[in-house]
Amino acid sequence: MAKIGSIDLGDFPLLLAPMEDVSDPPFRAVCKEGGADLMYTEFISSEGLIRHAAKSKQKLDIFEYERPIGIQLFGGDIGNMAESARIATEVNPDLIDINYGCPVKAVACRGAGAALLQDIPKMVKMTEEVVKATHLPVTVKTRLGWDEKTKNIVEVAERLQDIGIQALTIHGRTRVQMYKGEANWELIGKVKENPRMHIPIFGNGDIDSPEKAVEYKNRFGVDGVMIGRAAIGYPWIFREIKHFVATGEKLPPPELIERVNAARKHVEFSIKWKGPKLGVFEMRRHYASYFKSLPDFKPYRTQLVEAPTAQEVYAILDKISEVYSMINA
C-alpha cells in the first residue's frame, strides 16, 4: 500500500508525470478519467510565482475532481523556493513536489531542475526549507545523477528522506542523457531495496505498455510508476495497466468512438480553461497522438490542425467517426 502522508494511493499507483506544455488541467482531466491515481501540475517557476507572473499563477489552477494532485515547483534560489511553497500551499493542493529532474537548458542553466544534481548539499538544504515552509507532504522528482560519473541517487535518496520528504520519483536517466537511450531501472531498484528507505519509491522512464509496467514492478519492486509521454493522446494507458496488473490480461485498445470522444472532451476542457481561441490552438499538438493508429489519417490531421474554431474541430471529429466506422463496418 503506497501512502504519501495521509494520502492513500492503493497497491500500485500510476502517476501522471508533470510535463511542461502538456500536463495542464484539460490533459489532466482526460488522464484522470483514464485512471491516473496521482497527478501533478506542469512545473511552476518559484521566481515566477513570487513575481505574480500570470503564466505561473495560472498553473496553480487545480480542481476537486483531480485529487489527489500535487503542485510541482522548480527554482535555483533556496529562499524563493520556500516562499513559493508557501504560496502554492494556499491553493490547497494535496502535496508539493520539487523538480530536481528537468534537464532542459533553460531550466538547468538557471541553477534549477537537474542542475541541483551538481550540488547535493544545496539540494538537501533547499528541500529542507521547502519541507519547513508547508504543512503539506513534500515529494521530489529527480534523476540518477548529472552524468555517468555522478550516479549517486542511492545516497541522495537517503539524505532527502532524512530531512522529511514523503515520496521520491526517480527518472532512470542522467541529466546528460536527457531523454535519449534506455532508462536504467537497476539503480531505481537499488534505492527501493535499500533497507534504510521507508518512503514510497516511484519509477519513471520508458513505461509505455502494461507488460513493461508489470515487468518493472516485479523486477525492481517499485511502489508505483510514473507515466509521461506514453499518456499523450492515450489516456487509456492507465486503465490498461491496471487491468493487466489485476488480471494478467490485456484490454483491447479503445474503439474509434472512444478516441473521438476523448479528443472532443479534451477540446471542451481546453476551451473552458483557456478560452475559444487559445483552447483550440493548443489542442493541435494532441491530435496525431489520439489517432495515430488510424490508416490514411494525415488529411484529417491537417484539417484538425488548421481548424480555427471549436465548431469546425467538432465537425471534423464527427466526419472521422463516420468515415472510419464505414471502413470498419
Examine the residue annotation and report whether 102 is marked as an active-site residue of this protein.
yes
User: Do the beta carbons of residue 139 and residue 170 sit within 8 Å?
Assistant: no
What is the pLDDT averaged over residues 234-254? 95
- Cα four-point dihedral sign 293, 299, 305, 310: negative
What is the pLDDT averaged over residues 175-186? 80
Active-site choice (17, 81, 96, 102): 102
CB atoms within 10 A of CB 329: 5
* pLDDT tens track for 33-58: 999 999 999 999 999 999 988 889 88
- Find residue 226's DSSP bridge partners: 15, 204
- Please choose, from the candidates 300, 316, 229, the residue with its C-alpha nearest in 3D space to the C-alpha of residue 267: 316
CATH class of 3-247: alpha beta
E strands, the chain, in order: 3-4, 7-8, 14-16, 39-40, 44-45, 69-74, 95-100, 138-143, 167-171, 201-204, 224-227
HSE (CB half, 13 Å, CA atoms) of 225? 32
Would you say residue 329 has pLDDT above 80?
Answer: no
Pick from 224-238, 297-311, 314-328: least confident:
314-328
Q: What is the pTM of this model?
A: 0.93
Dihedral angle at the C-alpha atoms of 154, 173, 186, 192, nearest 10 degrees? Answer: 40
- Cis (ω within 30 of 0) for the bond into 68? yes
pLDDT of residue 239: 96
For helices 120-133 and 153-162, the axis angle rounded to 10 degrees is: 30
Paired sense of beta strands 69-74 and 95-100, if any: parallel
Residue scoring higher pLDDT (145 or 282): 282
User: Do the beta carbons of residue 81 and residue 73 sit within 8 Å?
Assistant: yes
Would you say residue 118 has pLDDT above 90?
Answer: no
d(CA 138, CA 158): 15
Rg value, the chain, Cα = 20
For the chain, domain boundaries: 3-247, 256-328
Residue scoring higher pLDDT (253 or 202): 202
Paired sense of beta strands 167-171 and 201-204, if any: parallel
256-328: in CATH 1.10.3470: no
Written as nine digits, the cell of 9 is 494511493
What is the pLDDT averaged over residues 92-102? 92
- Averaged pLDDT score across all residues of the chain: 91
Question: Looking up cell 494511493, which residue turns up?
Answer: 9
User: Do the beta carbons of residue 66 and residue 39 sit within 8 Å?
Assistant: yes
